[in-house]
Structure 1
C-alpha cells in the first residue's frame, strides 16, 4: 500500500509532531491535521492507515485522564454505537480505491469543519433531544470518518453544544475519537487494507505525536489558544480548498 522511503518517513514524523502540537495546545485536531497534510502527499487510504496507532494512543490517553468516564459512557453510548456502525459502513468507500473521490471528500470535510468552526455561533442542544439526536449525529460522524478518516464532523460541534464542563468535554472528545479510531481500524482491517509496513510506520509515528503533545502543552502557556486555533483553522480551510480543486476533473 505504501512504498517506504526516507522522505516519506521524515514527512510522516514531521506531520505527526506538528499534529501533536496542535492537540497539545487545543485538546484536539491530531487526526484532522494528519489527514489533511498526509492526504496531500499520499492517498487518503494510506494516510488513514498511518493515523490508526498514534490516534488511538493519544486519544485513549485523553479519555482515561478525565474524571467521569462511567457517567459519560452511560450518557453517550447510543452515539458511540452509531459511530461504530457508521464508520464500518463508510470505510468501504475509503477502501474502494477511488483516490480522486476520497480526496474530494476529505477536502470537503476539512472545508466544512474549518468554515463552521471559524464562522458559526455556539449551539445549544436541549437534553430532551439527546435520545434521538445522539444516534443520528453518531451515524453521520461514522460515515464521514469511514469515508475520509476525519473524526470531527459533526461530532465535535454536537458535543460542544451539550453544555458539558471543560474536563467533561475534553474526555467526551477523547471517547468519541477513540471509538472512531477503533472502528476505522476494524473497518479497514476487515477489508485487508493493512500491511505490516503500514502498521510499523504507524506505530513509529506515536513517538513524534507524543513529543508534539508535550511541546504543545508547553506552548499553550505562552500563546493564546484561541489565536492559535484560528490560525490552524485558516490553514485547514485553505488545505481543504486545495484538495477539492486538485481532485476535480
Structure 2
C-alpha cells in the first residue's frame, strides 16, 4: 500500500484528534482512529494502524491509579475472556466480506454513541456482575476481533459495576491495553500486519501523545460534559455514515 503525503497527513491528523479526545475524556483514541481511518483504508489496515498508539497510551492509563490489584481481583474473568476470544472474531477478517464488518463497526459506533447521548447505564449487583463478566467479555472479545472496537459491550459492563471514577478509568485502560495486545497478535497470525503498517503505526504515536497533552489543557478550560456530548454526537454521525457507506458497497 502506498502512503502518499496526503494520506500520511490525514493519518497524522486523525491521531492528533484521537489523542486530543482521549486527553479530554480519558477514552476515544481507538474509536476515533477506527472511525476516521476506515473512511480512507480497509478495516484490517485501520485496525493495524491503531496498535502502537493504543498500546502506548493505555500502558499509562492501566498502570496509574494504584487500584490494579483490587480491579484484577474483581474483573479478571471479564478481562481474560475479553482478551482470549479476540482471535475468534479476528478469523472473520480473512473469511467474511469486509464491507459487512465495516457495517458492523458503524453500527457498534452508533450503539455506543446513542447510549452515551441517552445517558444509559447498566447496573449490576456484585452477584450478577460475577456470573455475567465472562459473557460480556466473550461478546466484547469477538466483536473486537471482528471490528477493532473495544467499547461495546465492555465499557458498558465496567460502568455497571459502580467503580469509583479513578478505578473505572484504570479498568478501562486495562481492557484497552489487553485488547490491543491481543488484537495485534491476532492480526499478525492472520498476515494482516506488514512492516510498513507497523512503521506508520509507530509514527502515529507522536501526534497521539501531542494530542493527549493538548486535550489535557483543553479539559481545564472546557466543560467535560459538553465535550462528551459533542464527542458522542460526532461518533453517532460517523457510525451512521460508515454503516451506510459499507452497505452501499
CA distances 1:66-119 after superposition (whole Å, capped 9, x unpaired): 211112112111111111122110011134462211211111111111111111
**Partners in 2 of 1:225 and 1:137 — Cα distance?**
28
- TM (norm. structure 2) is 0.96
Using the alignment, how far apart are the partners of 1:179 and 1:134 within structure 2? 16
C-alpha change, 1:187 and 1:103, in structure 2 (3 Å) is: same
Aligned residues, how many? 248
**Cα distance in 2, alignment partners of residues 95 and 59 from structure 1:** 27
Structure 2 matches for 1:1-249, cutoff 5 A? 2-96=1-95, 98-249=97-248
Distance in structure 2 (CA, Å) of the matches to 1:181 and 1:245 = 27
8 Å contact from structure 1 (residues 95, 188) kept in 2: no
TM-score (norm 1): 0.96
Deviations 1:119-162 (A, max 9, x none): 14322210011221110011111111111111100111111111
Q: Which string of whole-angstrom CA distances, capped at 9 and with x for unpartnered residues, describes residues 165-213 of structure 1?
A: 1110110000010111011111111111110000000001011001100
**What RMSD, in angstroms, separates the aligned Cα atoms of the two structures?**
1.2
Deviation at 1:247, TM superposition (A): 1.5
**Aligned with 1:248: secondary structure?**
helix
- Structure 2 residues not aligned, in runs of 5+: none
Instruction: Find the aligned partners of 1:243 and 1:90 in 2 and give their Cα distance.
Output: 20
Unaligned runs of 5+ in 1: none
